[in-house]
Amino acid sequence: MKYVLSWNVKMDFMHKARTRLALIVSVLSLTACGVSPTEPTIYYKPKNTYSSLPAHADTEHVSESMLSALRERNLTATTGFHVLPYRSGRCKASLLYSVTPANMSGLFLNGKDLFSGAYLVLSYDDGDWELTNSRSRTSTIKSISAEDAIEDNLDALRQYELYVRLSGNLDEEALEDLTEIFVENGLPPPAVIVANSRYHKLIKQSALSSSRLYFDAPAAIEGASFIASTPQQNDVDLIYSYSGNGASNNALQLKNIILESNFNKACNAKGTFVSQPKLNLLAKKRFSDEELVLGLPADADFNQLPVQHKLIAQGKYLNWLGENKAYTLSEKTKDKCLEKNATQDVLARCAARKRDADSVMQDEKVVFGW
């Protein structure tokens, strides 16, 4: 049987449905009115992350445009606008940070993209290991406990390979004490130990035997690596490796540059690391700091931009040695020995020049020049 609702029943149902809907809308409206309207979300421009910049770049205080200009010259700026190489590879040889009792802060804490290792000079004196200044001959900085220095700077030290130079009267007890300092602080043995040759056998027989051994003086021994101080540069040390089987066939290879702060001097040990200028400043009456960075010669002092502005107006600039030089964009003289179409006469003179350079190894001593 088919049931059909009457018209009145239908109308009553629809009226009740509309009444319920109106009641729901009213409740929602009253609820909305009872809550204070929220303010629109404030838009903040995303902060640049500079993901490709090295760890020692100061992205907080140095503008993006300046960092970009410096990068074009293989440079960057750290805290206090101290201009440094962009990365260690720009310096032609791996850099080691010379750790002293007075500089275990600042760049040391975030230099992992600039330094491949940390260089510490540890001296054994009266039964204790001390961290000394590698520039002891030119500095009066007092030594401090090696154990305290390592313990207080573990986070920084862990980011580097450790190159440790040992001095003093070494014996088995001294090496055991040194091993204990590294073990207690959760550090592996040093990657490299630099020591006098008379202690090499003792070190090889100790718990530090896994460390590579370097000589603390020039050594004409096949495969030897050694440290050498340069009389001309008393704040830079160099590590060389030697290979050769005779006076007429020897070669020195620069492996590491040890420094504390003077990057211009250190990185120029094997040629200028700054790229050639991109802009002729003499063609402009006014220019920004960024344009100045792009136009300065490769040997300029980029830490003295205010001074450079004044000198460029006079047709001069300040180089990293502190000398006022005439501003010019003349290209660096090319090395004819590297040209593909070099004549036989040129090649002969190049070979003679190489022989003269190799002759620095005489009587198992090395003469170093810059």
The model's pLDDT over 74-88, given as tens digits with 9 standing for 90+, comes to 898 887 788 888 877
Most confident of 40-49, 138-147, 202-211, 342-351: 202-211
- The dihedral region occupied by 173, where left means phi > 0, alpha psi between -120 and 50, and beta the remainder, is alpha
Burial of residue 86 (CB within 10 Å: 0-12, 13-18, 19+) is buried
Return d(Cα 170, Cα 202) in angstroms, integer: 9
Say if CB 244 and CB 238 are below 8 A apart: no
On the question of pLDDT at 363 being above 50, the answer is no
How high is the mean pLDDT of the chain? 77
At 30, which amino acid appears? L
Distance of alpha carbon 322 from its chain centroid, rounded?
A: 24
**Highest-pLDDT range among 109-113, 236-240, 337-341:** 236-240
Are 120 and 164 within 8 A, CB to CB? yes
Contacts of 356 (CB under 8 A, 6+ apart): none
Let me know: does 167 contact 125? Beta carbons within 8 Å.
no
Give the three-state DSSP class for 75: strand
- Percent helix, strand, coil in the chain (nearest 5)? 30, 25, 45
What is the mean pLDDT of the segment spanning 246-264? 73
pLDDT tens digit string along 301-326?
A: 998 999 999 999 999 999 888 899 99
Q: Is the pLDDT score of 47 beyond 50?
A: no
More confident residue, 98 or 333: 98
Higher pLDDT, 135 or 273: 273
- Taking a C-beta distance cutoff of 8 angstroms, is the pair 316, 326 a contact? yes
Whole-angstrom Cα distance, residue 286 to residue 224? 54
Domains along the sequence of the chain with CATH: 88-269 (3.20.20), 336-364 (no CATH)
CA 173, CA 280: separation in Å to the nearest integer?
Answer: 64
- What SS3 state is found at 152? helix
Least confident of 30-34, 102-106, 358-362: 358-362
Spatial distance between the Cα atoms of 175 and 179, rounded to a whole number of angstroms? 6
Q: Is the pLDDT of residue 263 over 90?
A: no
**What are the angstrom distances between the C-alpha of 153 and each of 147, 150, 158, 256?**
10, 5, 9, 23
**Residue 17 predicted with pLDDT over 90:** no
195-251: pLDDT as tens digits: 999 999 999 999 999 999 999 988 888 889 999 876 555 667 889 998 765 554 558
The DSSP result for 248-278, as a single string, is TSEEEEEEEEEESS-HHHHHGGGS--SPPPS
Mean pLDDT of 120-133: 91
User: Is the whole model's pTM more than 0.85, yes or no?
Assistant: no
In whole angstroms, give the CA distance from residue 145 to residue 101: 9
Record the tokens describing residue 357, joined without a space: 């350079």
130-136: long-range contacts, CB 8 A cutoff, minimum separation 24: 131/99, 131/100, 131/101, 132/100, 132/101, 132/167, 133/100, 133/101, 133/102, 134/98, 134/100, 134/165, 134/237, 134/258, 135/98, 135/100, 135/234, 135/235, 135/260
CA–CA gap between residue 123 and residue 129 (Å, rounded): 6
What letter represents residue 29's amino acid?
Answer: S
Q: How far apart, in whole angstroms, are the C-alpha atoms of residue 306 and residue 170?
A: 52
Closest CA to 83 of 270, 271, 300: 300
